[in-house]
Amino acid sequence: MKKIAITTGDPAGIGPEITSKAIRFLKLRKDIIFIVYGKLELFNDGNSIVKIINITEAASPENIYWIEIDSKNIEQGKPTAQSGKIAYEILSHCAENLNSGQLEAVVTAPVSKDAIRHTHPNFIGHTEFFASSSNTKNVIMSFWGPHFNLSLLSTHIAVSDVSKYLTSRSLKPKFRLIYQETNKMIHNPKIAMLGVNPHASENGAFGNEDILIAKVLQELEEEDIHIDGPFPADTFFAAKATSYDMIISAYHDQGLIPFKMISADEGVNVTLGLPFIRTSVDHGTAYDIAGKGIASEKSLLQAVSFAEKMISKHEKHTNNNYRIFAEYYDKYMEHVGYENWVDFILSQYNKTYGKSPNRILELACGTANISSLLVKKGLKVDASDISPNMLKIASEKPFPPNLKLKKMTDELPTQKYDLTLLLFDSLNYLSNLNEVDLLLKNVHNTLIEKGIFIFDITTLRNCEKNFNGFINLEQVQDDLFIHQSDFEPSDNTQTSKLTFFKKKGFVFARYDEEHKQKIFKVNDLLELIKKTKFKLKGIYHIGYEENLKDHDPKILESNFSRLFFVLEK
């Protein structure tokens, strides 16, 4: 079992907040255990957080473990010598576990170098700290993002010292390390070196540093290490950046200004050369917004995901289809009459039992538009979804339900709920009837006696009439969103391709998602329901009062775009 640490950084900064948000709906894997070191602000829902004293107590990948290191005398947004001391204690405790081999990786939230230097004057930064604590002489600060990757030959040093730092003796091991580490991540990578001086010195007209770099790169060719350059930096990012897998910058700001401008909160800081994996956010402590609840955990989540990939490079990682779409979902679905859906759901339960349900579960809840309305009515609601991004938005609703990160087919607690819901054609995301059968069994198990299960499906009519050859362009502020759908009758599959163009500074970044839905025949679902312990109470279409359960299934498919099934245990 592999273990990844997350350090929460300066307790006066945003580190504890973004860590708490990141682990709340973090997808847990069976082969990795997460341990948080530092301060947390716990939520009432999401993943199970277990406080421990020693790392040896972290035993199950189903929990996230927490080693608390904090002080009550720290005020958020106000760095002090005490907050710096706690931040250093967090790093020291984690480093001890890393160097003893009890951890495979660490993901770090930001610290204040100035605050730490009050008690540890020689502290320069995370990179140097972990290098020193592990007795590693040669390390590289690198940044990985969706648009380009970057490595720095120097870290936190003054610009005036860069030239003195670049010697043949120092350059060769750093180039070797960058080449070797990049090869671990990308097969046969193309690597480019930026010039230090304007126009890469123009053959020594503006300094000799680039002549030295060119000479070193030429010598490394004999070792089968291929790095192009040095290139003039002023035109490189506009003309050549996308042609290379790794770009090398001689000093901090030369590469990080363009990287942070377009990678924003998607960039990950990775220290190359350590005996363990270390990733980090690419932003600072943000004291100005600490304690206000508005800090974004996106960069930390990217750093966690990157650490997971580095630990198990050959693992297949599930595609998160709502990673980007989640941001636009509520706007795109604002035409839906959610209140009418809630009225329909509660009327179905009320007309059967003459009362409201005591406990409700919504599977595949998305952004919880239905669940939050039920909570607003004073009902107790648990809700789950497979997308952390959708749950994040759901958690910010005025009346959020109790949220969990789960698949709709995951095992459910026994005899707990009066009413279970699966709406907005979520059932169509199951790929076959065997998965539907598993879902029905799980839901039957979780309902109390006389409990109700309501689910809906999109029909063949809806796909053929509304989504075969469908294309729609939406603009949301500065972003563009294209939705294309096609229906394949040979296997009754609807494929929706979503393309997003998000503005990043002066450029647009493209993201793609593909959603596949199985369009089940009504008759097949009816035959499956007959084999379960459920009783079919009715089939309905909202706005159409008649119970349609005795109608010909083919007529239902051809006349209605959406059907609701009401089952009783």
H helix runs in 381-481, sequence order: 388-395, 433-446, 460-462
- Please give the pLDDT value at position 316: 53
Task: State how far the Cα of 130 lies from the Cα of 139, in Å rounded to an integer.
Answer: 9
Residue 182 in tokens: 């990049």
Task: State how far the Cα of 204 lies from the Cα of 289, in Å rounded to an integer.
Answer: 46
Task: State how far the Cα of 194 lies from the Cα of 189, in Å rounded to an integer.
Answer: 16
Domain 325-462+519-568 sits in CATH 3.40.50.150: yes
**Cβ neighbourhood burial of 245 (10 Å; 0-12, 13-18, 19+):** middle
Q: Inter-axis angle of helices 433-446 and 522-530, to 10 degrees?
A: 50
Domain(s) of CATH 3.40.50.150: residues in the chain: 325-462+519-568
Inter-residue contact 443 to 453 (CB < 8 Å): yes
Low-confidence residues of the chain: pLDDT under 70: 313-320
Which of 152, 150, 155 shows the shortest CA–CA distance to 130? 155
Instruction: For residue 272, give the 3-state DSSP assignment.
Output: strand
Residue whose tokens read 């090869």: 183
Classify strands 246-249 and 150-152 as parallel, antiparallel or unpaired: parallel
Residue 519 identity: I
Q: Name 337's Cβ contacts closer than 8 Å, sequence gap at least 6.
A: none
Task: State how far the Cα of 413 lies from the Cα of 563, in Å rounded to an integer.
Answer: 27
H helix runs in 46-167, sequence order: 81-99, 113-117, 126-133, 162-165
pTM for the whole structure: 0.85
CATH architecture of 468-516: Single Sheet (2.20)
In this structure, how many other beta carbons lie within 10 angstroms of the beta carbon of residue 444? 17
Q: For residue 64, report the phi and psi dihedrals to the nearest 5 degrees.
A: -110, 130
- Please give the pLDDT value at position 408: 96
Classify strands 493-504 and 105-108 as parallel, antiparallel or unpaired: unpaired
- Please give the pLDDT value at position 79: 94
Q: Both ends of the chain: CA-CA distance in Å?
A: 40
- Please give the pLDDT value at position 319: 55
Inter-residue contact 553 to 490 (CB < 8 Å): no
DSSP type of residue 463: I
Q: Name 94's Cβ contacts closer than 8 Å, sequence gap at least 6.
A: 5, 7, 37, 103, 106
**Cβ neighbourhood burial of 330 (10 Å; 0-12, 13-18, 19+):** middle
Residue 386 identity: I
- Please give the pLDDT value at position 217: 94
Residue 130 in tokens: 């972990």
- Please give the pLDDT value at position 466: 85
Residue 322 identity: Y
Which of 172, 2, 14, 18 shows the shortest CA–CA distance to 101? 2
Residue 403 in tokens: 């949220």
Domain(s) of CATH 3.40.718.10: residues in the chain: 1-136+274-317, 137-271
Fold category of 1-136+274-317 in CATH: Isopropylmalate Dehydrogenase (3.40.718)
Task: State how far the Cα of 436 lies from the Cα of 445, in Å rounded to an integer.
Answer: 14
Q: State whether the Cα torsion 202-207-211-217 is positive or negative.
A: negative
DSSP states of 39-61:
-----SSSS-EEE-SSGGG---T
Instruction: For residue 401, give the 3-state DSSP assignment.
Output: coil
- Please give the pLDDT value at position 320: 67
Domain(s) of CATH 2.20.25.110: residues in the chain: 468-516
Q: Inter-axis angle of helices 325-332 and 388-395, to 10 degrees?
A: 50
Fold category of 137-271 in CATH: Isopropylmalate Dehydrogenase (3.40.718)
Q: Name 411's Cβ contacts closer than 8 Å, sequence gap at least 6.
A: 442
